[in-house]
Amino acid sequence: MMADTPETTSETEVETGAEAVAIAEATPAPAAAAPTAVTDLADLGSIAGDAPQGDAAVIAQRAEVPLREQELDKQGRAYATGRRKDATARVWVKPGTGKVTINGRDQEVYFARPTLRLIIDQPFAITERQGQYDVIATVKGGGLSGQAGAVKHGISQALSKYEPALRGTVKAAGFLTRDSRVVERKKFGRAKARKSFQFSKR
């Protein structure tokens, strides 16, 4: 009786193992997990970052879509207001041959100094649009230097409205920011804002 027990047990284990193999073969393999839908922007960003060209694709999409819409008046011109020191300039920009008119006069007559005309031309120089736009501006207040800066500020604003794609270039150069520097006020007891009168000991 004792000799028969191990043989019976071993046969039972063999049969059980064979049944397990048969059941495993008969059971279908689990299907691969379906890809989960991306519902979070963070997940989308991580997926784009994991892809070798994900960043390039995102940058290309952003470059294709302008951040702002073109702003034109009924005459097809872009308008903007520029300020510098005490001067205020109203500027209209439209496609043309590069003619700049200030208060009804040509820029070479109104701004006789070449440095002032160079200031006005800076927005067109950095955007490579020299000779492609006509500018009509009316400016008042301040002196010639402040008026030139005001016209430059207005041209930069108007150019970015006519061609929104150029806004990044003009903004990176700092031309869209209003220059807040003004003359410091004179103080009592001093000749100017900081200059003192000559000191006499005796």
Question: Tell me, what's the pLDDT at 90?
Answer: 98
Q: Are the C-beta atoms of 127 and 170 separated by less than 8 Å? A: yes
Domains of the chain in sequence order: 78-172 (3.30.230.10)
Three-class DSSP category at 55: helix
Tens of pLDDT, residues 137-163: 999 999 999 999 999 999 999 999 999
Question: Tell me, what's the pLDDT at 54?
Answer: 55
Q: Are the C-beta atoms of 131 and 150 separated by less than 8 Å? A: no
Residues 41-51 have a mean pLDDT of: 44
| Sheet-wide strand order for 78-84 | 78-84, 87-95, 133-140, 100-102, 105-106
**Whether pLDDT at 136 is above 60:** yes
User: Would you place residue 62 in the very low, low, confident or very high pLDDT band (cuts 50, 70, 90)?
Assistant: low
Question: Tell me, what's the pLDDT at 164?
Answer: 95
Closest CA to 81 of 12, 176, 166: 176
Tens of pLDDT, residues 88-123: 999 999 999 999 999 999 999 999 999 999 999 999
Convert 53-86 to b/e letters by CB count within 10 Å (16 or more is b): eeeeeeeeeeeeeeeeeeeeeeeebbbbebbbbe
> What element of type H or E holds 80?
strand 78-84
User: Would you place residue 68 in the very low, low, confident or very high pLDDT band (cuts 50, 70, 90)?
Assistant: confident
23 exposed, middle or buried (CB, 10 Å; 0-12, 13-18, 19+)? exposed
Q: What is the pLDDT of the chain when averaged over all its residues?
A: 81
160 exposed, middle or buried (CB, 10 Å; 0-12, 13-18, 19+)? buried
**Whether pLDDT at 19 is above 70:** no
